[in-house]
Structure 1
């Protein structure tokens, strides 16, 4: 892996050096509010390329973070709906159980009359 990285860095350096040597004319750079000193066209191209890559990577990371947050929100909303459905089902089951007839009602006993108890005397 390191060998591939070293070869890749060497190729980028060689390309940059070739770009600077092939475009060796001096160019004045006008930055709307200021003026940069004249610099080599190849160097200016490399600087612009590097800045473009860095800004592109930062924007891609920001966009990925936004998408990741949207996915997380969507997942949590879905989980929230599922939990609300489970809560509704549990409430329905509790209501059914609370309204179910008791043993006394099924046996025909009055709810106020208690079953006779045996009291043992010693």
Structure 2
């Protein structure tokens, strides 16, 4: 990787040197509100090229960051929708279990459970009456 970087750096330096030597005419640069001193045309081309590359890289990084954030938001929205669906399904299962008949109701029916509950209540009442008789 370092060798590739060194080769690219050497090629860009060689290109810049050839550009400066081939375009050695002095030109004046007129900026809208000021005048820059005269400079070598090759040097001006290199400065404009470097400035364009730097601005392009910065804009590309900014756009990539925006796109990366949009992708992340989209991924999180999909995950949120999936989790909402799982939550809905879990609530349906919980409601079914809460409304499902118990084992006693399933085996004996609802009336048998009610009779059994009333029998337990009457036994409890009898036990409390017996206890009250002993206390007198």
Shorter-normalised TM range: 0.7 to 0.9
Would you say the 8 A contact 1:104–1:111 is kept in 2?
no
Structure 2 segments unaligned to the other structure (5+ residues): 124-136
Q: 1:24/1:104 Cα in 2 relative to 1: closer, same or farther (>3 Å)?
A: same
The corresponding residue for 1:44 is: 44
- Separation in 2 of the partners of 1:36 and 1:91? 73
Higher helix share: 2
Q: Structure 1 residue runs of 4+, over 4 Å off?
A: 114-117
For normalisation by structure 1, the TM-score amounts to 0.85
> Which structure 2 residues correspond to residues 78-93 of structure 1 after superposition, within 5 A?
78-93=78-93
Matched pairs, number: 117
Displacement of 1:115 in angstroms is 7.0
The Cα offsets for residues 55-75 of structure 1, whole Å up to 9 and x where unpaired, read as 111111111111111111111
Q: 1:114/1:32 Cα in 2 relative to 1: closer, same or farther (>3 Å)?
A: farther
Q: 1:109/1:30 Cα in 2 relative to 1: closer, same or farther (>3 Å)?
A: same
RMSD between superposed Cα atoms in Å? 2.0
- Separation in 1 of the partners of 2:104 and 2:119? 9
The corresponding residue for 2:67 is: 67
